[in-house]
Structure 1
Amino acid sequence: MADKDDKLHIAMFPWVAFGHMIPFLELAKLFAHKGHRISFISTPRNIDRLPKLPPNLISTIDFIKLPLTLLEDIPENAEATIDIPESKVPFLKKAYDSLQHPVTQFLQVSKPDWVFYDFAPYWVGPIATELGIKAAFFSIMTAALLAFLGPSSVLMNDGDEPRKLEDLLVPPKWVPFPTTVSFKYHEVMKMVANLQGDDSGVSDLYRFGAGLRNSDIVTMRSCLEFEPEWLRVLENIHNKPVFPVGQLPPLPSDANSEEEDNSWRSIKEWLEKQGKGSVIYVAFGSEAKPSQDELTEIALGLERSELPFFWVLRTRRGSADTEEVELPQGFEKRTRGRGVVYTSWAPQMKILSHDSVGGVLSHSGWSTVVEALMFGRPLVLLTFFADQGINARVLEEKKIGYSITRDENDGSFSGGCVAESLKMVLVKQEGKIYRDKAVEMKGLFGDRDRQSRYVDNLLDYLKANGPAMRAKH
Structure 2
Amino acid sequence: MAENSKKLHIAVFPWLAFGHMIPYLELSKLIAQKGHRISFISTPRNIDRLPKLPPNLTPFLNFVKLPMPHVEKLPENAEATIDVPYEQVKYLKLAQDGLEESMAKYLEDSDLDFILFDFTSYWVPSIASKFNIPSGHFSIFIAAFLGFTGPVPGLNNGYEIRTTPEEYTVPPKWVPFETTVAFKLFEVLRIFEATMKGEEDNIADITRYCKSVENCDFLLVRSCSEFEPEWLKVVGDIHRKPIFPVGQLPTTPYEDDSTKIDAWREIKLWLDKQEKGKVIYVAFGSEAKPSQNELTELSLGLELSGLPFFWVLRTKRGESDDELIQLLEGFEERTKGRGIVCTSWVPQLKILSHDSIGGFLTHSGWSSVVEAIQFEKSLVLLTFSADQGINARLLEEKKIAYSIPRDDCNGSFTHESIAESLNLVLVKREGEIYREKVKEMKSLFCDKKRQDNYVENLLRYLQNYKRTIT
TM-score, structure 2 normalization: 0.97
Q: Give unmatched runs, 5+ long, in structure 1.
A: none
CA distance in 2, matches of 1:406, 1:70: 41
Query: Cα distance, 1:59 vs. partner?
Result: 1.6
- Correspondence for 2:468: 470
CA distance in 1, matches of 2:63, 2:157: 37
- Correspondence for 1:16: 16
CA distance in 1, matches of 2:210, 2:188: 18
1:238 aligns with 2:239: yes
Query: Which digits, 9 at most, give the CA deviation of each residue in 1:38-93, with x for residues without a partner?
Result: 11111111111111111111121111111122122011111111101000011111
Change (3 A) 1:46 1:272: same
CA distance in 1, matches of 2:45, 2:349: 24
Q: Structure 1 stretch 279-288 or stretch 162-171: which is displaced more? A: 162-171
- Correspondence for 1:226: 227
For residue 304 of structure 1, what is the amino acid of its counterpart?
Answer: L
Q: Structure 1 stretch 381-390 or stretch 120-129: which is displaced more? A: 120-129
CA distance in 2, matches of 1:224, 1:116: 21
Identity %: 59
Query: Cα distance, 1:3 vs. partner?
Result: 8.1
For residue 356 of structure 1, what is the amino acid of its counterpart?
Answer: S
Query: Cα distance, 1:10 vs. partner?
Result: 0.2
Query: 2:405 is paired with a residue of what secondary structure?
Result: coil
Q: Does the 8 Å CA contact 2:5/2:463 hold for their aligned counterparts?
A: no
Report the RMSD for the aligned CA atoms in angstroms. Answer: 1.6
CA distance in 2, matches of 1:347, 1:249: 15
For residue 402 of structure 1, what is the amino acid of its counterpart?
Answer: Y
- Correspondence for 2:396: 396
- Correspondence for 1:44: 44
Query: Which digits, 9 at most, give the CA deviation of each residue in 1:413-441, with x for residues without a partner?
Result: 11110000000000011111111101111
Q: Does the 8 Å CA contact 2:373/2:438 hold for their aligned counterparts?
A: yes
TM-score, structure 1 normalization: 0.96
For residue 52 of structure 2, what is the amino acid of its counterpart?
Answer: K
For residue 237 of structure 1, what is the amino acid of its counterpart?
Answer: I
For residue 205 of structure 2, what is the amino acid of its counterpart?
Answer: D
CA distance in 1, matches of 2:156, 2:41: 30
- Correspondence for 2:161: 162
Change (3 A) 1:55 1:3: farther
CA distance in 2, matches of 1:198, 1:159: 29
- Correspondence for 1:386: 386
Query: Cα distance, 1:157 vs. partner?
Result: 9.9
The correspondence of residues 124-273 of structure 1 with structure 2, limited to 5 A, is 124-153=124-153, 161-164=160-163, 165-194=165-194, 195-257=196-258, 259-273=259-273
For residue 363 of structure 1, what is the amino acid of its counterpart?
Answer: H
For residue 252 of structure 2, what is the amino acid of its counterpart?
Answer: L
Change (3 A) 1:346 1:338: same
Query: 2:227 is paired with a residue of what secondary structure?
Result: coil
- Correspondence for 1:424: 424
CA distance in 1, matches of 2:159, 2:55: 53
Q: Does the 8 Å CA contact 1:54/1:253 hold for their aligned counterparts?
A: yes
Query: 1:311 is paired with a residue of what secondary structure?
Result: strand
- Correspondence for 2:344: 344
- Correspondence for 2:440: 440
Q: Does the 8 Å CA contact 2:4/2:464 hold for their aligned counterparts?
A: no
Query: Cα distance, 1:471 vs. partner?
Result: 5.3
Q: Report runs of 4+ in structure 1 exceeding 4 Å deviation.
A: 2-5, 156-161
Query: 2:72 is paired with a residue of what secondary structure?
Result: coil
Change (3 A) 1:354 1:388: same
- Correspondence for 2:306: 306
CA distance in 2, matches of 1:161, 1:387: 21
Query: 2:94 is paired with a residue of what secondary structure?
Result: helix
For residue 161 of structure 2, what is the amino acid of its counterpart?
Answer: P
Query: Which digits, 9 at most, give the CA deviation of each residue in 1:233-256, with x for residues without a partner?
Result: 111100111101010011131424
Change (3 A) 1:199 1:59: farther
Query: Which digits, 9 at most, give the CA deviation of each residue in 1:10-33, with x for residues without a partner?
Result: 010000001001110111111101
Query: Cα distance, 1:111 vs. partner?
Result: 3.4
Query: Which digits, 9 at most, give the CA deviation of each residue in 1:169-213, with x for residues without a partner?
Result: 100111110000000000011012212112342000001100001
For residue 138 of structure 1, what is the amino acid of its counterpart?
Answer: F
Query: Which digits, 9 at most, give the CA deviation of each residue in 1:229-278, with x for residues without a partner?
Result: 11111111001111010100111314241x22111111111111111110
CA distance in 2, matches of 1:73, 1:268: 41
CA distance in 2, matches of 1:200, 1:366: 30
Q: Give unmatched runs, 5+ long, in structure 2.
A: none
1:121 aligns with 2:121: yes
Q: Does the 8 Å CA contact 2:151/2:159 hold for their aligned counterparts?
A: no
Query: Cα distance, 1:159 vs. partner?
Result: 8.2
CA distance in 1, matches of 2:330, 2:27: 44
Q: Does the 8 Å CA contact 1:119/1:208 hold for their aligned counterparts?
A: yes
For residue 69 of structure 2, what is the amino acid of its counterpart?
Answer: T
Change (3 A) 1:213 1:47: same
CA distance in 2, matches of 1:139, 1:276: 37
CA distance in 2, matches of 1:250, 1:277: 22
CA distance in 2, matches of 1:455, 1:18: 22
Q: Does the 8 Å CA contact 2:295/2:327 hold for their aligned counterparts?
A: yes
Q: Does the 8 Å CA contact 1:153/1:159 hold for their aligned counterparts?
A: no
- Correspondence for 2:91: 91
- Correspondence for 1:411: 411
Alignment size in residue pairs = 467
Query: 2:153 is paired with a residue of what secondary structure?
Result: helix
CA distance in 1, matches of 2:157, 2:376: 43
Query: Which digits, 9 at most, give the CA deviation of each residue in 1:391-434, with x for residues without a partner?
Result: 00001001111111111111011111000000000001111111
Query: 2:116 is paired with a residue of what secondary structure?
Result: strand
Change (3 A) 1:364 1:148: same
1:101 aligns with 2:101: yes
Q: Does the 8 Å CA contact 1:186/1:410 hold for their aligned counterparts?
A: yes
Q: Does the 8 Å CA contact 2:14/2:118 hold for their aligned counterparts?
A: yes
Query: Cα distance, 1:104 vs. partner?
Result: 1.2
